């Protein structure tokens, strides 16, 4: 079967910068900081005090009270974002359920549920553990609940590749559509990891910043950077085969034209020092996207704000694009505003790429004040810039050496 084109026909967002696509996008281009003191638990016992929390989220807008009580926060976010995306796409009633799937990434699944129920087990005994513990905890349940709501009977699965989960979900969904296994897939990522155990674990692996000022915390590519800020939320895209979308008169945001996926095969947390996996993922995505030297390129970097990641990703960009082109490329890390949404990071960053192409505006890297010799490219510091981009690349690099790069063009 010949390869088919894949376009984006719906978007949905539940994020630290707002609970709709419009609010999230406006916040991104305004350079709004979504990071603030943690409110979801008492932080007196942990060293990290800040997070990118979702505010004012009401799951009852998207599900029944009973469903909300039987689902983890990450699945609630997923259903919320997917509902927005499906409504935006107007696809219901215009798709065969057997050709409609869900690929929703999550790095840690229902970790808040795990913490709550395990505490019950230790303090009150096994009889007090919820009968919904397992279905609330497992990482596939966000995809499963979305599928149930929208009668998606094609392939329904999570991608679980740490911080690359959202990008892998979108990329693998593209392949399924491209090669004829589905006509449309709700794809993205969802995460709700802000609990004491998760924060303690990331603190003890020296991954989180210990800053207490939200404007001095998430500092991608800045010399002062000292770790990432944890974030949460969900973003969903409706990916659809182009002819299917065109036939039904769908609104089209852009086209997903390339996907690179590699593994460093090097270390459980550290990227390869020569940036071999990240660079190759970019090269593969660019090749699929028919990259040309004349393309104006925007890279939404993984850009976590950890010392090693940002320097090595800079190296990966130089390898993939070449030194001269890399210096001409617009790069930004929206994690400076959202924090690191783990398994949802690749999804919100895909959304940023799609809208940057569509609107001709590149969101900034905020809080970027001090130059680092190891990070010497154009990271669009502090203010959005108006540029008509030809090709947008979204990088995701995860623990375990997982790398993904998505490539988008206008249509």
Coil, helix or strand at residue 382 = coil
Coil, helix or strand at residue 319 = helix
Q: What 8-state DSSP symbol labels residue 216?
A: G
Tokens of 176: 């399924």
Q: Distance from CA of residue 22 to its chain's centroid?
A: 17
- The CA distances from residue 344 to 103, 223, 289, 347, in Å, are 12, 26, 23, 5
Tell whether the torsion through CA atoms of 372, 373, 379 and 381 is positive or negative: positive
Coil, helix or strand at residue 192 = coil
Q: List phi, psi (to 5°) of 252.
A: -120, 120
Instruction: Single out the catalytic residue among 24, 163, 195, 405.
Output: 163
First CA to last CA distance, the chain: 23
Give me the torsion for CA of 355, 366, 234, 271, rounded to 10°: 100
Instruction: Single out the catalytic residue among 168, 244, 272, 340.
Output: 340
On the 0-12 / 13-18 / 19+ scale of CB atoms within 10 A, 18 is: buried
**Listed residue (241, 176, 188, 231) closest to 82, CA to CA:** 188
- What percent of the residues of the chain are helix, what percent strand, and what percent coil, each to the nearest 5? 40, 20, 40
Tokens of 189: 């990522």
Instruction: Single out the catalytic residue among 168, 302, 375, 405.
Output: 302
Q: List phi, psi (to 5°) of 14.
A: -125, 110
Coil, helix or strand at residue 62 = coil
Tokens of 247: 């036939």
Give, to the nearest 10 degrees, the angle between helix 345-359 and helix 165-178: 60
Cβ neighbours, 10 Å, residue 329: 22
For 164, left (φ over 0), alpha (ψ -120 to 50), or beta?
alpha
**Catalytic residue flag (residue 179):** no
15 DSSP β-pair partners: 18
- The CA distances from residue 346 to 85, 87, 147, 353, in Å, are 16, 22, 21, 10
Residues designated catalytic:
163, 302, 340
């Amino acid at each position: 079967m010949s390869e088919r084109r894949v376009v984006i026909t719906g978007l949905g967002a539940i994020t630290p910068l707002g609970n709709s696509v419009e609010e999230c996008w406006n916040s991104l281009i305004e350079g709004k900081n979504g990071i603030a003191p943690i409110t979801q638990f008492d932080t007196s016992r942990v060293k990290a005090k800040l997070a990118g929390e979702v505010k004012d989220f009401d799951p009852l807008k998207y599900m029944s009270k009973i469903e909300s009580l039987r689902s983890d926060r990450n699945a609630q976010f997923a259903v919320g974002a997917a509902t927005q995306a499906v409504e935006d796409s107007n696809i219901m009633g215009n798709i065969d359920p057997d050709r409609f799937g869900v690929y929703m990434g999550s790095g840690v699944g229902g970790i808040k549920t795990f913490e709550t129920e395990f505490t019950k087990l230790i303090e009150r005994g096994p009889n007090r553990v919820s009968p919904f513990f397992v279905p609330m905890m497992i990482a596939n349940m966000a995809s499963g609940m979305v599928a149930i709501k929208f009668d998606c009977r094609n392939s329904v699965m999570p991608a679980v590749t740490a911080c690359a989960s959202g990008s892998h979900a979108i990329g693998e969904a593209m392949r399924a559509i491209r090669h004829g296994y589905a006509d449309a897939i709700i794809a993205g990522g969802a995460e709700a990891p802000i609990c004491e155990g998760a924060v303690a674990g990331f603190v003890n692996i020296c991954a989180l910043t210990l800053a207490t000022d939200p404007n001095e915390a998430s500092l991608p590519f800045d010399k002062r950077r000292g770790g990432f800020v944890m974030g949460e939320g969900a973003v969903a895209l409706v990916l659809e085969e182009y002819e299917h979308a065109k036939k039904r008169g769908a609104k089209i945001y852009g086209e997903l034209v390339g996907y690179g996926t590699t593994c460093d095969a090097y270390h459980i947390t550290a990227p390869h020092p020569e940036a071999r996996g990240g660079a190759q993922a970019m090269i593969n995505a660019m090749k699929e996207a028919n990259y040309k030297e004349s393309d104006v390129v925007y890279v939404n970097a993984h850009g976590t704000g950890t010392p090693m990641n940002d320097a090595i990703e800079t190296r990966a960009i130089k390898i993939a694009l070449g030194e001269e082109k890399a210096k001409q490329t617009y790069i930004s890390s929206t994690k400076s505003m959202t924090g690191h949404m783990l398994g949802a990071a690749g999804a919100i960053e895909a959304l940023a790429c799609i809208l940057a192409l569509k609107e001709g505006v590149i969101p900034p890297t905020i809080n970027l004040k001090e130059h680092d010799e190891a990070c010497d490219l154009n990271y669009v510091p502090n203010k959005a810039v108006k540029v008509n981009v030809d090709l947008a690349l979204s990088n995701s690099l995860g623990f375990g050496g997982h790398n993904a790069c998505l490539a988008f063009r206008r249509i």
